[in-house]
A = this chain, B = another copy of it.
Amino acid sequence: MVKSLEELGQKAARAKYEVQRLGTEEKNKALAAVAENLTARQDMILAANAIDVKNGEDKGMSSGLLDRLKLTEDRIAGMAEGLMQIVKLPDPIGEVLETFQRPNGLFIEKKRVPMGVIGIIYESRPNVTADAFGLCFKSGNAVILKGGSDAIHSNKAIMDVIREALENSGVTPDAILMIEAVDRTVTQEFMRMKEYVDVLIPRGGAGLIRSVVENSTIPVIETGTGNCHIYVDESADLEKAIPIIINAKTQRVGVCNACESLVVHKAVKEKLLPALAEKLMEKNVEIRGDEQVQQVIDCIPAAEEDYGTEYLDYIISMKTVSGLDEAIAHINKYNTKHSEAIITENAENAERFLNEVDAACVYVNASTRFTDGFEFGFGAEIGISTQKLHARGPMGLRELTSYKYTIKGNGQIRG
């Protein structure tokens, strides 16, 4: 391991015990001090950000990426506000999940504890730096961040401001550590720091996530990719269906819980599709449909790979099916286990869809856009998990914790 990573790991290993011991009050005070310092030091952060933005412009970064990269006073205020929202959330640490006494007198408690050290690998969105720190810290963890190299000056400035506030609050500044090297081999080594990092969470596009899954020896939580479907059943109320589809597709196209594909029962295609297509056209959504869809509306023919594509754009694929079984099979074949919805007035079909579709969040008669920590009432989230191990769906503070068993005896030995 390169020396800088080894040192970082050792710092995190010491810091995690300090963070773990902090009480709720101490953590909240420190978070409030960090929020305050972000605003107090915004000129320094904006100056650092200006360097990143200038470098981005010089290398011809797209306007979308530049927009994600750019900080403003408002965005810094948003980061501070995000931390204050985390202050208000209940502290998950110390919660007793179960207690039981064994016949031999052993008293066993299952208690919620921090993970220890959480690693976050993310792209060039500097606001993630403050968010990720806040969530990891409140849940009692130390965090090692590896942000996109295009945001390195911004991220470093934000980290310095956080560390300063922590130190002034009497908390170890090593609760937040950052890998500043932009060298790819360092990132590769980071993903193998199993001795020091308990869980690794990639936040970003499909390519980043794939790379982390392929290379990490640290347990990973996969987040993000969402090839989400809406299935309009034979018995659907079209007054519900159309607004839900429009909302799920167009309210924000670049997010993981946006609808990418419509599955339509062939019995409703004539009633649904013309009216729906009109609304979608108003929003400039391109439709890629199968043969039966093409018979009813003007659209681009869908290729097989359309059904497996997360467009994150003003495009929707459409597929007709002859019943619920075919709809469920199609969705389970192509989905990314994120969010799926059925529009139906048939309670039995709703129940079967809820049970048999394999996804973190399965909806009846509602937009897939609700898969979100705030919408679920969890508060801020670190991401949406699309794997089944550990956490599924929106991951808030509780999902950043583990548990341990404590066992009290008075001399018990095993016979």
Instruction: List residues of chain A with CB under 8 Å of any chain B CB.
Output: 17, 20-21, 100, 102, 106, 108, 115-116, 194, 198-199, 213-214, 217, 219-221, 237, 239-240, 243-244, 246-248, 251, 332, 350, 354-356, 358-367, 369-370, 375-377, 387-390, 392-393, 402-414
Contact = CB atoms under 8 A, between A and B. Distances in A.
B414 A115 contact: no
B375 A102 contact: yes
B388 A389 contact: no
A331 B367 CA distance: 50
Contact of A359 (B106, B240, B393, B404): B404
A221 B388 CA distance: 12
A102 B366 contact: no
A195 B239 CA distance: 37
Given A116-B358, A194-B213, 15 more contacts: A17-B332, A21-B355, A115-B388, A198-B389, A214-B217, A219-B388, A239-B411, A248-B413, A251-B413, A354-B406, A363-B409, A364-B407, A366-B408, A370-B412, A390-B390
A387 B198 CA distance: 8
A interface: dominant SS: mixed
Contacts of A414: 247, 251, 367, 369-370, 375
A370 B244 contact: no
Contact of A219 (B106, B220, B251, B376): B220
A390 B392 contact: no
A377 B100 CA distance: 9
Contacts of A115: 388-389
Contacts of A108: 376
Given A361-B404, A377-B102, A366 B244 contact: no
B393 A362 contact: no
A350 B198 CA distance: 25
19 contacts: A17-B356, A100-B377, A106-B370, A116-B358, A198-B387, A239-B411, A243-B411, A244-B411, A247-B413, A350-B408, A362-B404, A364-B406, A365-B410, A365-B411, A366-B411, A367-B414, A370-B414, A375-B414, A376-B405
B369 A413 contact: yes
B361 A410 contact: no
A111 B73 CA distance: 42
Contacts of A388: 115-116, 198-199, 219, 402
A348 B39 CA distance: 42
B389 A389 contact: yes
A273 to B, nearest CB: 19
Given A366-B411, A367-B413, A387 B219 contact: yes
A350 B109 CA distance: 14
Given A217-B213, A356-B17, A370-B106, A402 B408 contact: no
Given A214-B217, A388-B116, A363 B407 contact: yes
